[in-house]
Amino acid sequence: MANTITLKGHNITPLLIRDSYDRRAVGYMNSIYETLKLIGFKKDDIDLKEDINAYRFAPASVAFYIDGHRLYYSYKLAKKYVENLYIVFKVIDLEVKAVLSGEKTMREFIATFTEDKDVEGERKEARRLLGLADDVTDMNVINAKYKELAKSNHPDMNGGNQEKFKAINNAHKILKRELE
């Protein structure tokens, strides 16, 4: 059994999918559409790649639009696209349920998923700035590198650099938002 992971404050148990990859992926895509429809999204407001071989490794992502906001969520830590897509679905499902139950407002929902159009580029640049490989997703590794660089560049330290310190903090925030 897979370990539980925490994303956007929710504990989720990833699935290890062993068959019917494409059929399951279509099911998760349809579930994403139907779930977002519950809070006012139309299918035309949702951008979800539907032409991916569900068995191969690929990150899953969805962009959705409301009231001039671009919302986005992606996941890439599982071995198969369909498994990544399941996580995307579960996070969206749990967040929509929070809106429907009154735990969250629609404004809070929007804030949870609002991302810049080039968020993937920003994530890649954040990893580069921290001296990490593009595929590093372990927050313990990211935090250790962040602390090392933040300490050596802190403005109060001898040889510290305030601009680099700010950039390092921003890079850490970008990766933390992606992975937590």
Q: How large is the C-alpha radius of gyration of the chain?
A: 18
Q: To which H or E segment does residue 161 belong?
A: none
Compute the C-alpha angle 36/28/113, nearest 5°. 40
Confidence at residue 2, expressed as pLDDT on a 0 to 100 scale: 59
Length of the chain: 180
Per-residue DSSP letter, 8: T
Confidence at residue 116, expressed as pLDDT on a 0 to 100 scale: 80
Confidence at residue 1, expressed as pLDDT on a 0 to 100 scale: 45
Residue-level pLDDT, tens digit, the chain, 180 residues: 458 888 888 999 999 999 999 999 999 999 999 999 999 999 999 999 877 789 999 999 999 999 989 999 999 989 999 999 999 999 999 999 999 999 999 999 999 999 888 888 999 999 999 999 988 888 899 999 999 999 999 999 888 899 999 999 999 999 888 877
Spatial distance between the Cα atoms of 174 and 60, rounded to a whole number of angstroms: 18
Q: Which domains, and CATH codes, for the chain?
A: 5-113 (no CATH), 119-179 (1.10.287)
Spatial distance between the Cα atoms of 169 and 147, rounded to a whole number of angstroms: 9
Strands 60-66 and 69-75: antiparallel
Are 71 and 114 a contacting pair, CB within 8 Å? yes
Confidence at residue 137, expressed as pLDDT on a 0 to 100 scale: 82
Confidence at residue 36, expressed as pLDDT on a 0 to 100 scale: 98
Are 85 and 29 a contacting pair, CB within 8 Å? yes
The residues pairing with 65 across neighbouring beta strands, listed in sequence order, are: 70
pTM over 0.85: no
Residues sharing a CB contact under 8 Å with residue 104, sequence separation 6 or more, in sequence order: 95, 98, 112
Confidence at residue 118, expressed as pLDDT on a 0 to 100 scale: 86
Confidence at residue 101, expressed as pLDDT on a 0 to 100 scale: 98
